[in-house]
Amino acid sequence: MPEIMPIIQISMVEGRSDEQIRALIRGVTQAAVDAIGAPIDTVKVIVTEVKPSHWGSGEQTIAEKRNS
């Protein structure tokens, strides 16, 4: 079997602590190891945080929804 080197990209609204982001990376990495047998050191996780004013849902930004 060829070496599995998954890259997992997560986009979310900013606001979580470094500890929460670290826990997310740990959990997602472990899920990839469990689900597809990827060697743990080959799993790459990229977390991109987006400002609430730069993320839309419907016709409003998340910032607008939070303020309403």
Tell me whether residue 2 is one of the annotated catalytic residues.
no
Phi/psi region, residue 40 (left: phi>0; alpha: psi -120 to 50; beta: rest), is alpha
- Given the residues 2, 6, 39, 52, select the one marked as catalytic: 6
Give residue 2's pLDDT. Answer: 61
One CATH from 3.30.429.10, 3.40.605.10, 3.30.420.40, 3.40.50.12280 for 7-67: 3.30.429.10
| Residues 6 or more apart whose Cβ sits within 8 Å of residue 64 | none
Please give the chain's pLDDT, 68 residues, in tens. 567 799 999 999 999 999 999 999 999 999 999 999 999 999 999 999 999 999 998 999 999 999 98
